[in-house]
Structure 1
Amino acid sequence: MRTVRYCDVSAAARVMLATPPANREQVCQRMIREAEFADRFVRRLGKLHPKWGNGTLQAAARRRRLCREPSFSDPEYCACFQQVLSILHDAPEKTDCKFR
């Protein structure tokens, strides 16, 4: 997956906010796998993946329904944002995140 930026985490969190809580982790992990696959596709073939785009988490997220971005005063959005960061943190070998 390409380098993770704020916009990637925000887009993923907005997708998760539109997802039932019981399915959020699974949806987030799937978006990460799609972004990883798309990144490998782009690097290998030199063109965008037809479904998942350029290999960013944001591109994978944008193929789904996103809620409007709330402020961080919304506790559910904060929980989703934190969950995305946590999942990325737990799998740094699969991303360009350098948390450790």
Structure 2
Amino acid sequence: MREITHGDMHAAACVLLTCPCGDWPQVMAGLLADAHSADCYRKHSGRVHPRLGNGTLMAVALARAPDAAASRARPSAPRYQQALACVLSALELWRAARQG
């Protein structure tokens, strides 16, 4: 997966906001797996993955829910903050699993 930016985290959080809270860990696991796959494809082929994009979390989030990242999610909204916390937690777990 490519370097994570604030935009990536925001896009992923916006995707989570379209799902029930109980589904968030599984949705994040899928987003991270797809971003990793797309990045591997990009590195191997030298081209952007046709469905998943360039290997960024944002590209995968936009592919999964194109309208979600354009939402007007407010950073001060508690549900957005919970979604962002889930994104950060999932990133930490994903990185730990890859390093372990």
TM-score, structure 1 length as denominator? 0.88
1:78 corresponds in structure 2 to 81
Choose between structure 1 and 2: higher helix proportion: 2
Q: Say which is worse superposed, 54-63 or 86-95, in terms of deviation.
A: 86-95
Distance 1:33 1:93 in 2: 14
1:44 corresponds in structure 2 to 44
Distance 1:31 1:70 in 2: 19
Distance 1:6 1:54, change over 3 A: same
Distance 1:81 1:87 in 2: 10
Structure 2 residues without counterparts, runs of 5 or longer: none
Aligned length: 95
Q: After TM superposition, what 4+ stretches of structure 1 lie above 3 angstroms from structure 2?
A: none
User: Could you say what secondary structure the match of 2:2 adopts?
Assistant: coil
TM-score, structure 2 length as denominator? 0.88
Distance 1:48 1:93, change over 3 A: farther
Give the root-mean-square deviation of aligned CA atoms: 1.5
Sequence identity percentage: 34
Q: Is the 8 A contact 1:12 1:84 kept in 2?
A: yes
